[in-house]
Amino acid sequence: MLKKFSRALALTVAGLALAAAVHAQTKSQVVILATGGTIAGAGASAANSATYQAAKVPVDKLIAGIPEVGKLADVRGEQVFQIASESFTDESLIALGRRVAALAKQDNVDGIVITHGTDTLEETAFFLNLVVPTDKPVVVVGSMRPGTALSADGALNLYNAVATASDRASRGKGVLVVMNDEIHSGRDVSKAINIRTEAFKSPWGALGMVVEGKTYWFRAPVKRHTVNSEFNIDAIKSLPSVGIAYGSGNATDVAYRALAASGAKALIHAGTGNGSVSAQVVPALRELRAQGVQIIRSTRVGGGGFVLRNAEQPDDQYDWVVAHDLNPQKARILAALALTRTTDAREVQRYFMEY
């Protein structure tokens, strides 16, 4: 009887071990790439939610602070940068893009999460959306409050980002941004508010949401991205300089001429309304275009600004480009990538309509 019991117990233990091994193999493998930002920030006291130092907490401590992610996926972290995102450069974008692309090629990586400061998060997400040729989930996440603050949002945002990156339903939707329980397209989303947790908005709406570690989807992107993109990080060594100049009442051509003189190969005009250009500025932009500088009309209007070609200005006549629905900062990203492939304004315009 004792031998039978011992044998049965041994079989049970072996079965449990096998089940655990199978379960471990079926769990998604997610890599968290940390770059700094508020999500890695710390304030002087719990009452400091808007006054703090960004980029202080390393990735291992971020992961250790959310043990629940272990139920979603097998997670490991890498510290790529430790900076506030307003200090991101084009070189930073390229280095991050190469690391994301390299990880995406690995069989033991099912999804990638990038922790990022919110100030330029939308630009990084859009850049990766254009240059990383993978259908694996790539999720960019940040927070509006440091982890030391009352009602800090970073831990739940990171948990939701891992949930999204580990979900096969997230595949093929391009680079995603997860904030405040919502899943956004990296192409569309922008920081619309600077001190509240619902800071990120998409003019055409979120793609879905995350509730208690489960994703719920309502729409999918239609613009070209990732595996369908003509841009590939492996072919990009550097990005040409692209400047942004802001339109306003009493505008002059000083900023445009200064940016071109400093080496800008394209200028994003963050115009009023429908990308309008004041009469005082038009001659300078025409002159700069004749010198080979690309002129791209965007709009300073947030939350759904949309620039129509040949409205307000005769773009065909002037050989100018319109940014379609991309805001100035995202237009800068696409313009820089476009100029790695062409100097033909008609081809640049095609990129803006398709991406």
Catalytically annotated residue among 12, 51, 89, 118? 118
Catalytically annotated residue among 35, 38, 115, 226? 38
119 is in an annotated binding site: yes
> CA–CA separation, 5 vs 9, rounded Å?
6
The H or E element that residue 76 is part of is strand 73-83
Annotated active-site residue 118? The verdict is: yes
Contact between 270 and 300 under an 8 Å Cβ cutoff? The reply is yes
Instruction: Show the tokens assigned to 127.
Output: 């850049």
Kindly list the distances between the CA atom of residue 194 and the CA atoms of 50, 89, 325, in Å, as whole numbers in the listed order: 9, 21, 22
180 burial type by CB count under 10 A (0-12 exposed, 13-18 middle, 19+ buried): buried
Phi-psi label, residue 180: left if phi above 0, alpha if psi -120 to 50, beta otherwise:
left
DSSP string, 219-237: ----S--GGG-S--GGG-S
74 is in an annotated binding site: no
Annotated active-site residue 38? The verdict is: yes
35 is in an annotated binding site: no
Return the axis-axis angle of helices 328-338 and 345-354, rounded to nearest 10°: 130
Give the residue ranges of the annotated binding site: 85, 118-119
- What residues are labeled active site? 38, 118
Give the residue ranges of the annotated binding site for substrate: 85, 118-119
